[in-house]
């Protein structure tokens, strides 16, 4: 390799890998595809910022390997010009045939130049990292987390899925340009130029199908693809795009089509309503729409449940409800005769007591199950069903508690027929039929403090509850519709109700529970707790990635979510911390709900991120209450609202900053050097 070739490559490397000293906090805004099948190796594209020097990728759990293959930094116009000059030199080596490495470099340069945009639609996701992922055949299916590592720490996390079926993925979308109102045609021309270079909408390993829609044929990000069930399709939606998938189905098949979009990227700060809102539509061979869904119950991600009436070809389409789109409008759609839980009942049970659960849904091998809750602590756990070929269904939350429980009785919707309960108690019931209301009566004494709390939306029930507390004369003492819970970072409608009141006199009191929209049905289940206050708390620690210089410290925020009036000091400490880490600060006195803590390290560096656990301890009389803090990311929704999005681990990385670059003295000309000689 001659001198000018080395010069070109070194210049190119400088453009694509800035010194770590210039790096900001590492952030990733999308990963595509956002998952893969067991037993496969494939590449994913991760978009973010502050990724200079990226050298590693981490996926939580076991059975998955990931390595960084390539990093393409967003460049400016001057850098683009330099790349064009270097590409010209590389393409015309005097009297020398380029080797494979040089050919690959030329192709990479051509791709970067072709896909260059001066003003990207979102600069925060314009730096792209290519990661190769290998999933073991026996890797546990379900949600994981993916993060990137740089010399200065680990990035924020994103959801990454391990699936059971064949995966079909479109080529990754290039960075899109910012759309200017009135100049949408410029974006269309850009799509034709850039996407045309990818062969249109060619799907990996799948045959393309022409569409009868002339507009779709001319717009390269509208595509149609033939698939074979069951499978998972991955895609990204450009502005105005509609993606269609053809498949054969037989009469009697009970098809389940599940989309993931908001479930992959919960919040977008610069998009309204704050996430990609996908729409699913299903068509028969004649083009007639036979099913449609723009959100499953209260979940923005749609689901279609469809029993096939006749053999033939069907098409499902996916697009954004507002026809928006860019690189982080990522989706995964799984389709087939999948086991799918629509509801369970009851929504929970008592610890160490077997509870038989009724299952409702599609393609389920059984309608009842008894979860093994032996030695399980109070909390919320996941219930799944297993279908044919050991295919695992979606999960439903199942709550365990220590209080006595009882079932709701029928026909108790008036004071005269109200169901009598003895406190404390948790009632398992349903609002069924629509428009129904359930009433409960209990005896109270003057000065007693009573809490009535509904667990429904938090347990995946569509019930939007309303609670009302009255005395024996029907006088309203307390009323609540929605009660905000800061711990529900993925929820934007806090639909569960909560009442805390002091009883004014001895006598009979009534609790009325109904749905705010007068809806109801078998799936409108609830758990109603009526008891004296049970002071408790939950913790969130932000951010979920801690990057610390050698022998230094980092500051974290800890949020306390106090429940049932818990007051007093919550002491924070590191639990089972590896050597070299200590926690300073860490008290939340009185009713304080936010504090800062400092994680210090005496280590010089860590080879890989380590997991830390922050634990909180409080006392309520003689009772000691201990909970681990759940890691979270502070995310903005639609320019305004903020949410604490939970993460799986609190990852900590200790790094040693590189030595500062020594200034290079300017070279002297021969004439000036001669003049300085005596």
Whole-number Å distance between alpha carbons of 58 and 40: 17
Q: Picking from 300-304, 417-421, 486-490, which range would have the lowest pLDDT averaged per residue?
A: 486-490
- pLDDT over 70 at 10, yes or no: no
- pLDDT band for position 475 (cuts 50, 70, 90): very high
- Do 361 and 480 have their domain in common? no
Reduce the DSSP state of residue 176 to 3 states and report it: coil
Residue 581 lies in a domain: yes
**Whether residue 369 is found in the same domain as residue 458:** no
451: β partners: 500, 531
Lowest pLDDT segment from 3-12, 152-161, 239-248? 3-12
Q: How does residue 677 score in pLDDT terms, banded at 50, 70 and 90?
A: low
For residue 415, count other CB atoms closer than 10 A to its CB.
Answer: 15
By mean pLDDT, which of 242-251, 252-261, 384-393 is the weakest? 384-393
- 343-359 burial, b at 16+ Cβ within 10 Å, e below that, comes to bbbbbbbbbeeebebeb
Cβ contacts of 256 within 8 Å, gap of 6 or more: 303, 304, 305, 334, 335, 336, 337, 338, 340, 362, 363
Q: Do 472 and 492 share a domain, yes or no?
A: yes
Confidence of residue 11 (pLDDT cuts 50, 70, 90): very low
Judge if 451 and 569 occupy the same domain: no
Cβ(312)–Cβ(286) below 8 Å: no
Task: Note whether residue 388 is domain-resident.
Answer: yes
Tally Cβ neighbours within 10 Å of residue 374.
Answer: 9
Instruction: Please check whether residue 426 lies inside any domain of the structure.
Output: yes
In which order are the strands placed within the sheet that holds 594-601? 581-585, 594-601, 553-563, 536-542, 630-637, 641-646
Q: What is the DSSP string of 322-389?
A: T----TT-EEEEEEES--EEEEEESSEEETTS---EEEEEES-S-SEE----TTPPSEEEEE--B-GG
What tokens were used for 477? Answer: 């003492």
Model confidence pLDDT, tens digit, residues 102-135: 788 888 888 888 888 888 889 999 999 999 999 9
Average pLDDT over residues 269-286: 95
Furthest C-alpha separation in the chain: 116
CATH number for the domain that contains residue 444: 2.60.120.380
Neighbouring residues of 364: CB distance < 8 A, sequence distance ≥ 6: 339, 340, 341, 385, 387, 393
Average pLDDT over the chain reads 88
Distance, in Å, from the CA atom of 571 to the CA atom of 539, rounded to the nearest integer, reads 11
561 and 526, same domain (yes or no): no
Average pLDDT in the 479-502 region? 94
pLDDT for position 470: 97
In this structure, the answer to whether residues 80 and 114 fall within a common structural domain is yes
499 with 632, same domain: the answer is no
For tokens 């922050």, the residue is 614
Q: Which structure tokens are listed for 190? A: 């850009």
Percent of the chain with pLDDT over 70: 87
Tell whether 527 and 558 lie within a shared domain: no
What average pLDDT score do residues 153-158 get?
96
Whether residues 530 and 541 fall in one domain: no
Within 8 A by CB and 6+ apart from 399, the residues are: 347, 348, 349, 379, 380, 381, 455, 459, 527
Work out the pLDDT band at 19, boundaries 50, 70, 90.
very low
Cβ atoms of 29 and 265 within 8 Å: the answer is yes
pLDDT of residue 88: 83
Pairwise CA distance, residues 367 & 375, whole Å: 25
What is the band of 141 on the pLDDT scale with cuts at 50, 70, 90? very high
Burial call 462-489: b when 16+ CB within 10 Å, e when fewer: bbbbbbbbbbeeeeebbebebbebbbbb
Residue 132: count other Cβ atoms within 10 Å of its Cβ: 15
**How is residue 357 written in tokens?**
């659960």
Kindly report, residue by residue over 293-335, the tens digit of the pLDDT: 999 999 999 999 999 999 999 999 999 999 999 999 999 999 9
Q: Is the peptide bond before 394 cis (omega within 30 degrees of 0)?
A: no
Residue 268 falls within a domain, yes or no?
Answer: no
Beta strand 610-612 with 650-655 is antiparallel
- Domain for residue 272, yes or no? no
The confidence score (pLDDT) of residue 675 equals 55
Tell me which of 72-76, 367-371, 500-504 is least confident: 72-76
**Around Cβ 69, how many Cβ atoms within 10 Å?**
12
Report the DSSP beta bridge partners of residue 643. Answer: 635
pTM, to two decimals: 0.87
Q: Which one of 382, 401, 420 terminates a domain? A: 401
pLDDT at 506: 97
What is the tens place of the pLDDT at every residue in 362-399?
999 999 999 888 889 999 999 999 988 889 999 999 99
207 token code pair:
């045959």
Q: Do 302 and 275 touch, CB atoms closer than 8 A?
A: no
The lowest-confidence range among 76-80, 175-179, 505-509, 662-666 is 662-666
Residue 96: what pLDDT? 66
- CA dist 238 and 200 (Å) reads 13
CATH of the domain at 604: 2.60.40.10
Same domain, 6 and 61: yes
Domain end (from 106, 140, 164): 164
CA distance 612 to 154: 14
Look at residue 218 in the predicted model and tell me its pLDDT. 32
3-state secondary structure 456-513: CHHHCCCCCEEEEEEECCCCEEEEECCCCCCCCCCCCCCCCCEEEEECCCCEEEEEEE
pLDDT for position 184: 63
The answer to whether 233 touches 307, Cβ cutoff 8 Å, is no
- Residues whose CB falls within 8 Å of the CB of residue 678, separated by 6 or more in sequence, listed in order: none
Q: Is 441 in contact with 508 (CB distance < 8 Å)?
A: yes
Q: Considering the domain boundaries, does residue 514 fall inside one?
A: yes
Q: Are 652 and 599 in contact (CB under 8 A)?
A: yes
Interval 182-231: pLDDT, tens:
666 666 666 666 665 444 443 333 333 333 333 333 334 567 899 999 99
Write the Ramachandran bin of 169: left for phi over 0, alpha for psi from -120 to 50, otherwise beta. Answer: beta
The DSSP bridge partners found for residue 437 are 514
- In residues, how long is the chain? 678
pLDDT digit string, tens, across residues 627-640: 999 999 999 999 98
Residue 670 within any structural domain of the chain: no
- Rounded (10°) CA dihedral 87, 91, 93, 95: 180
Domain span at 112: 1-164
The phi-psi region of residue 481 (left if phi > 0; otherwise alpha if psi is between -120 and 50; otherwise beta) is: alpha
Residue 240 has pLDDT above 60, yes or no: yes
pLDDT for the residue 308: 98
Structural domain ending residue among the three candidates 479, 499, 534: 534
Distance of CA 368 to the CA centre of its chain: 30
> Taking 80 as the threshold, does the pLDDT of residue 666 lie above it?
no
Neighbours of 408 (CB within 10 A): 20
Give domain status of residue 170, yes or no: no
Does residue 455 sit in the same domain as residue 579? no
Residue 553 CB contacts under 8 Å (≥ 6 apart), including other chains: 584, 598, 599, 600, 601
**Number of structural domains, the chain?**
4
Reduce the DSSP state of residue 28 to 3 states and report it: strand
The mean pLDDT of 653-661, rounded to a whole number, is 81
pLDDT for the residue numbered 214: 31
Q: What are phi and psi of 55, to 5 degrees?
A: -135, 0
Nearest to 392 by CA among 138, 143, 166, 141: 141
Same domain, 418 and 395: no
């Amino acid at each position: 390799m001659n001198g000018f070739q080395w010069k070109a490559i070194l210049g190119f490397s400088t453009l694509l890998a800035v010194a770590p000293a210039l790096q900001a906090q590492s952030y990733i805004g999308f990963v595509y595809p956002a998952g893969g099948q067991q037993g496969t190796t494939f590449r994913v594209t991760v978009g973010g910022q502050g990724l200079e020097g990226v050298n590693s990728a981490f996926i939580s759990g076991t059975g998955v390997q990931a390595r960084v293959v390539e990093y393409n930094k967003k460049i400016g116009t001057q850098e683009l010009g330099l790349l064009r000059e270097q590409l010209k030199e590389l393409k015309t080596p005097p009297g020398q045939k380029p080797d494979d490495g040089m050919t690959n470099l030329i192709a990479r340069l051509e791709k970067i130049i072709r896909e260059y945009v001066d003003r990207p639609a979102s600069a925060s996701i314009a730096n792209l990292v290519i990661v190769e992922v290998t999933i073991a055949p026996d890797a546990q299916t379900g949600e994981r987390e993916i993060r990137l590592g740089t010399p200065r720490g680990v990035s924020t996390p994103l959801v990454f899925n391990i699936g059971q079926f064949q995966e079909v993925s479109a080529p990754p979308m290039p960075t899109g340009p910012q759309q200017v109102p009135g100049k949408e045609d410029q974006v269309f021309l850009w799509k034709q130029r850039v996407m045309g270079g990818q062969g249109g909408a060619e799907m990996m390993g799948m045959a393309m199908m022409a569409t009868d829609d002339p507009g779709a044929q001319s717009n390269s990000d509208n595509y149609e693809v033939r698939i074979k069930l069951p499978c998972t399709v991955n895609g990204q939606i450009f502005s105005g795009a509609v993606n269609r998938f053809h498949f054969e189905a037989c009469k009697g098949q009970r098809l389940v089509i599940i989309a993931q979009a908001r479930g992959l990227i919960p919040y977008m700060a610069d998009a309204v309503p704050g996430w990609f809102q996908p729409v699913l539509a299903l068509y028969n061979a004649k083009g007639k729409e036979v099913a449609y869904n723009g959100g499953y119950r209260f979940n923005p991600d749609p689901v279609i449940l469809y029993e096939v009436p006749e053999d033939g070809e069907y098409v499902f389409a996916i697009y954004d409800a507002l026809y928006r789109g860019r690189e982080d409008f990522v989706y995964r759609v799984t389709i087939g005769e999948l086991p799918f839980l629509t509801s369970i009942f009851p929504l929970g049970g008592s610890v160490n007591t077997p509870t038989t659960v009724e299952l409702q849904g599609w393609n389920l091998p059984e309608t009842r199950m008894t979860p093994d809750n032996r030695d399980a602590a109070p909390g919320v756990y996941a219930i799944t069903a297993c279908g044919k070929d050991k295919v695992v269904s979606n999960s439903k939350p199942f709550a365990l508690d220590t209080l006595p429980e009882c079932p709701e009785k029928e026909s108790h919707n008036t004071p005269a027929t109200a169901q009598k309960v003895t406190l404390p108690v948790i009632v398992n019931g349903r609002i069924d039929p629509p428009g129904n209301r359930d009433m409960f009566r209990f005896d109270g004494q003057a000065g007693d403090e009573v809490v009535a709390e509904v667990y429904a939306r938090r347990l995946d029930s569509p019930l939007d509850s309303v609670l009302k507390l009255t005395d024996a004369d029907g006088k309203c003492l307390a009323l609540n519709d929605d009660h905000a819970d800061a711990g529900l970072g993925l929820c934007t409608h806090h639909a569960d109700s909560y009442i805390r009141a002091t009883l004014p006199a001895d006598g009979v009191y009534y609790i009325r529970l109904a749905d705010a929209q007068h809806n109801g049905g078998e799936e409108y289940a609830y758990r109603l707790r009526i008891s004296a206050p049970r002071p408790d708390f939950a913790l969130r620690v932000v951010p979920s990635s801690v990057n610390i210089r050698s022998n230094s410290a980092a500051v974290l925020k800890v949020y306390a979510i106090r429940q049932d009036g818990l007051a007093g000091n919550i002491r924070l400490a590191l639990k089972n911390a590896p050597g070299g880490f200590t926690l300073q600060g860490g008290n939340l006195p009185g009713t304080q709900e936010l504090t800062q803590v400092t994680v210090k390290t005496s280590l010089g560096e860590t080879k890989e991120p380590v997991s830390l656990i922050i634990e909180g301890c409080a006392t309520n009389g003689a009772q000691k209450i201990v909970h681990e803090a759940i890691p979270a990311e502070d995310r903005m929704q639609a320019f305004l609202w903020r949410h604490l999005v939970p993460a799986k681990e609190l990852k900590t990385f200790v790094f040693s900053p590189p030595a500062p670059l020594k200034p290079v003295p300017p070279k002297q000309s021969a004439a000036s050097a001669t003049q300085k000689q005596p």
